[in-house]
């Protein structure tokens, strides 16, 4: 029975027995209709009192808010806090006396160093001029002893006169003030035996008051020698929620080494590496040995993320950089999109799609931008973009890959047509062979900024469906890779913005030729340094930028390598950025606003306007233009091959350097250090593939040429080709051997 029939619930056994007995005692004609249950009716349809909901929210906030002291969150904690307060009050006299004694000891030590000219003597010893400066040191020591005696005499006379004239009360007041000063001087600080740290963490901020601590940290991190020091260019000062300082390294040291060994410096300063930002100062005010440091007071990414500022914007100009996120210093980082392209890579559930949608949101709010959106995740993350997209699809089947090929062929033909039309324009309208803001908004020229977004781009790039191009059979994935590469090379000047997102950033998925021409890169957390280098560029991990070291708890935090000027400066190689937060409701609101401004300007087209018809495409002309069927480099041809270790790691590490126009020779020490392998086993295994360690002359960091052992890249390419053709077995044996 339900509540609408007013049927009671929560029956009891006594009610059942009573109903049965009544039925027996009555007439035989009485019909038994079942037990009569006794309960209370609860109507769930009635609204709950708002006061109770507000009270629950307040209690939940009170229990979990870090702003509420723990002592006020429960009775047990309040009792314990009261006990601690009583204990503190009882112990405070002894602690005060101890602080005064420690202050007296510290003051005595300082006076002893001063009177014995310790600083002058140490400087003379370091410069090995103690004998020459001995007379001056002796004279200065005698002078300071005389000053000490004179001060002691004056103080004694002042005490005697005060006691004689005013009595003992002023002396007691002066003694109390002196004890307070000594207690402050002797308060428990970090770095002294038996003292507790009074600063925010061990050694965290001591360098802001004593630069020698910073010098010691550099020495502990082995960034400078024991006999070397730093030159302070700018003293420590507050910037945002942290401390900043600029130093010059010794003449033989480089700022790039400090950036690369940021983890060691963070350990020496006793902070987490995410709290430490180290950059080389470039431009007119910098040089190769000048380092800018910024140390945050706490984890800059522990606070909740901020929502995108585009949420309250009516429209946006695509020629302006898009608000992308904020760096550790809480500076807004804007991402330039026009005249460049973007690659976003990460493992699943790290914010990859959110980052790509942030880049798209700025283009969506510009009514003159034409959008192509392909979602190969086959979900609904991008469905709202169908309201504004000229071309839109969501799916991961072969038919969707073939549809993407048609899109890309259409775009290649569009780019070629734009360049042909630019030749006929005057220099005032088109000063260079590039699209200008006025040209992109001129409906007669038909050259709008066109954003191409492909989510989970690894799906079409790995598709093995055969397609016929110029009479030759190639896989659909290879053809997609060639089309994307051509668009990334020539499309930006014609107003094509290419944004690719993938959760499989490896060399087998994204061709090296495509990666090399993608201007901006954004790497969220990946599995290892090789995947990080695939997204950010070769050897970026050796420069201190490795997204595999990002914390799993830092959602939306990644390393941005921009192609253009940002708030961090135009000369910054890369930076750590936390993207803005754009939940689905905000994303839908942005897309709805984008459709509204397009309807107002009359720029809706294609899918958004209900016209999905594809124009007639000339695949042959496009294939001839992009050069499909030409010979590829050995490294690109080897990408689909499953290479054994350690050859696969060597190929992944060298990347584009493995091409014929790349490096000719790579030292063994470099490979062993980068791949973290055992040298003997590595050399034996490489020998199994026909790669023998040879001697060659290379230029060192000091400019001198020296002879080292290593491998010629030609031998590595030959091994890759031999495995691909079946001549060499992946286990290291010839293909004809048993």
Q: Where are the domains of the chain?
A: 1-46, 75-185, 206-296, 325-626, 634-725
Lowest-confidence range among 122-126, 440-444, 717-721, 726-730? 726-730
Write down the CATH number for the domain with range 634-725: 1.10.10
Give domain 206-296's CATH number out of 2.40.50, 3.15.10, 1.10.1660, 3.30.980.
Answer: 3.30.980
Q: Can you state the percent helix, strand and coil of the chain, rounding each to 5? A: 45, 15, 40
Question: pLDDT category, 205, cuts 50, 70, 90?
Answer: low
pLDDT of amino acid 400: 92
Contacts of 685 by beta carbon, 8 Å cutoff, 6+ apart: 645, 646, 732
pLDDT of amino acid 321: 92
Which tops the pLDDT comparison, 29 or 453? 453
pLDDT of amino acid 34: 52
| pLDDT reading at 199 higher than 80 | no
What's the pLDDT tens digit per position in 213-265?
888 889 988 999 888 889 888 888 888 888 889 999 998 888 888 988 888 99
| pLDDT reading at 673 higher than 70 | yes
pLDDT of amino acid 728: 61
Per the listing, tokens 């695939």 go with 534
Tokens (6 digits) for 278: 């180290």
Which tops the pLDDT comparison, 71 or 190? 71
| pLDDT reading at 431 higher than 80 | yes
Alpha carbon distance 605, 598 (integer Å): 9
Question: pLDDT category, 204, cuts 50, 70, 90?
Answer: low
Which tops the pLDDT comparison, 697 or 165? 165
Tokens (6 digits) for 115: 């009177």
CA proximity to 526, closest of 345, 342, 675: 345
φ, ψ of residue 737 to 5 degrees: the values are -75, 155
Average pLDDT on 568-585 reads 81
Give the pTM.
0.59
pLDDT of amino acid 642: 66
Give domain 325-626's CATH number out of 3.80.30.20, 3.30.390.10, 3.30.460.10, 3.40.50.300.
Answer: 3.40.50.300
Using only the alpha carbons of the chain, give its radius of gyration. 37
pLDDT of amino acid 201: 42
What's the pLDDT tens digit per position in 19-71?
444 444 444 444 444 555 554 554 455 455 555 677 777 877 777 777 777 77
What's the pLDDT tens digit per position in 93-102?
888 888 888 8
**Residue-averaged pLDDT of the chain:** 79
Phi-psi region of 290 (alpha: psi -120 to 50; beta: other; left: phi over 0): beta
What's the pLDDT tens digit per position in 577-604?
999 988 899 999 999 999 999 999 999 9
How buried is 715 (Cβ within 10 angstroms: 0-12 exposed, 13-18 middle, 19+ buried)?
A: middle
| pLDDT reading at 513 higher than 60 | yes
What is the end-to-end Cα distance of the chain in Å, rounded? 78
pLDDT of amino acid 12: 41
Which tops the pLDDT comparison, 401 or 238? 401
How buried is 488 (Cβ within 10 angstroms: 0-12 exposed, 13-18 middle, 19+ buried)?
A: buried
Alpha carbon distance 605, 391 (integer Å): 9
Q: Residue 274: how many CB atoms within 10 A of its CB?
A: 19
pLDDT of amino acid 410: 92
pLDDT of amino acid 638: 37
pLDDT of amino acid 366: 94
Residue 304: in which H helix or E strand, if any? none
| pLDDT reading at 661 higher than 60 | no
pLDDT of amino acid 114: 85
Alpha carbon distance 617, 414 (integer Å): 11
| pLDDT reading at 335 higher than 70 | yes
Average pLDDT on 691-720 reads 76
How buried is 217 (Cβ within 10 angstroms: 0-12 exposed, 13-18 middle, 19+ buried)?
A: buried
- Strands (E) across 382-495 are located at 391-394, 450-455, 466-469, 472-475
| pLDDT reading at 92 higher than 50 | yes
pLDDT of amino acid 378: 84
pLDDT of amino acid 21: 41
φ, ψ of residue 517 to 5 degrees: the values are -110, 5
Average pLDDT on 166-176 reads 86
pLDDT of amino acid 600: 93
DSSP strand pairing (665-667 vs 705-712)? antiparallel
pLDDT of amino acid 385: 93
Contacts of 68 by beta carbon, 8 Å cutoff, 6+ apart: 62
The CA distances from residue 395 to 402, 465, 497, 499, in Å, are 11, 16, 22, 18
CA proximity to 372, closest of 443, 465, 449: 449
Average pLDDT on 8-14 reads 42
pLDDT of amino acid 515: 83
Q: Is the separation of the CB atoms in 333 and 370 below 8 Å?
A: no
């Amino acid at each position: 029975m339900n509540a609408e029939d007013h049927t009671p619930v929560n029956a009891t056994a006594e009610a059942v027995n009573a109903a049965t007995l009544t039925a027996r005692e009555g007439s035989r004609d009485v019909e038994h209709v079942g037990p009569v249950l006794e309960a209370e009716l609860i109507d769930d349809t009635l609204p709950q009192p708002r006061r109770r909901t507000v009270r629950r929210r307040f209690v939940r906030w009170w229990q979990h808010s870090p702003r509420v002291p723990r002592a006020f969150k429960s009775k047990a904690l309040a009792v314990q806090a009261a006990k601690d307060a009583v204990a503190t009050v009882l112990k405070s006299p002894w602690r005060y006396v101890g602080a005064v004694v420690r202050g007296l000891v510290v003051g005595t030590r300082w006076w002893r160093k001063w009177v014995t000219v310790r600083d002058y003597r140490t400087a003379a010893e370091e410069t090995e001029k103690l004998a020459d400066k001995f007379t001056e040191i002796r004279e200065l020591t005698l002078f300071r002893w005389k000053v000490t005696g004179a001060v002691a005499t004056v103080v004694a006379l002042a005490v005697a006169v005060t006691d004689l004239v005013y009595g003992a009360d002023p002396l007691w007041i002066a003694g109390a003030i002196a004890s307070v000063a000594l207690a402050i001087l002797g308060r428990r600080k970090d770095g002294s035996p038996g003292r507790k740290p009074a600063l925010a963490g061990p050694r965290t901020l001591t360098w802001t008051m004593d630069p020698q601590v910073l010098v010691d940290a550099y020495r502990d991190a082995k960034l400078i020698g024991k006999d070397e020091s730093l030159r302070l260019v700018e003293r420590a000062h507050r910037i945002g929620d942290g401390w900043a300082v600029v130093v010059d390294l010794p003449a033989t040291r480089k700022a790039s080494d400090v950036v690369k060994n940021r983890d060691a410096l963070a350990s020496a300063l006793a902070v987490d590496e995410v709290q430490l930002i180290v950059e080389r100062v470039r431009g007119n005010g910098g040089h190769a040995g000048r380092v800018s440091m910024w140390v945050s007071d706490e984890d800059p990414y522990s606070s909740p993320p901020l929502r995108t500022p585009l949420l309250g914007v009516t429209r946006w100009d695509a020629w302006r950089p898009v608000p992308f996120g904020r760096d550790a210093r809480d500076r807004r980082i804007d991402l330039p999109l026009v005249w460049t392209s973007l690659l976003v890579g990460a493992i699943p559930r790290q914010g990859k799609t959110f980052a790509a949608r942030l880049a798209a949101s700025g283009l969506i709010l510009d009514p003159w931008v034409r959008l192509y959106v392909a979602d190969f995740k086959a979900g609904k993350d991008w469905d709202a973009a169908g309201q504004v997209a000229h071309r839109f699809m969501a799916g991961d089947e072969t038919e969707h890959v073939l549809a993407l090929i048609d899109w890309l062929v259409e775009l290649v033909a569009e780019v070629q047509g734009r360049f042909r039309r630019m030749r006929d324009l005057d220099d005032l309208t088109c000063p260079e062979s590039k699209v200008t803001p006025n040209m992109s908004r001129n409906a007669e020229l038909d050259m709008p900024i066109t954003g191409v977004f492909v989510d989970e781009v690894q799906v079409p790039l790995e598709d093995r469906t055969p397609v016929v191009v110029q009479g030759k059979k190639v896989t659909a994935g290879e053809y997609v890779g060639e089309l994307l590469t051509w668009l990334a090379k020539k499309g930006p000047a014609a107003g094509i913005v290419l944004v690719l997102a993938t959760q499989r950033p490896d060399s087998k998925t994204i061709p090296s030729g495509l990666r090399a021409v993608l201007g901006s890169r954004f790497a969220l957390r990946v599995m290892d340094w090789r995947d990080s280098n695939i997204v950010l560029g070769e050897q970026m991990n050796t420069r201190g930028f490795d997204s595999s070291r990002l914390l799993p708890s830092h959602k939306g935090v990644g390393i941005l390598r921009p192609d253009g000027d940002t708030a961090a400066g135009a000369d910054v190689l890369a930076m750590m950025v936390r993207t803005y937060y754009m939940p689905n409701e905000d994303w839908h609101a942005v897309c709805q606003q984008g459709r509204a401004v397009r309807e107002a300007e009359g720029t809706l087209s294609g899918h958004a306007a209900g016209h999905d018809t594809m124009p007639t495409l000339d695949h042959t002309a496009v294939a001839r233009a992009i050069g499909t069927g030409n010979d590829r480099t050995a490294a690109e041809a080897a990408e689909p091959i499953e290479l054994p270790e350690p050859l696969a790691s060597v190929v992944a590490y060298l990347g584009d350097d493995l091409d014929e126009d790349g490096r000719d020779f790579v030292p063994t020490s470099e490979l062993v250090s980068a791949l973290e392998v055992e040298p003997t086993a590595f050399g034996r295994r490489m020998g199994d593939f026909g790669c023998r360690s040879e001697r060659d002359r290379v230029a060192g960091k000091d400019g001198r040429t020296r002879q080292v052992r290593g491998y010629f890249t030609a031998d590595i390419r030959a091994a890759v080709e031999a495995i691909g053709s079946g001549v060499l077995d992946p286990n290291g044996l010839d293909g004809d051997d048993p």
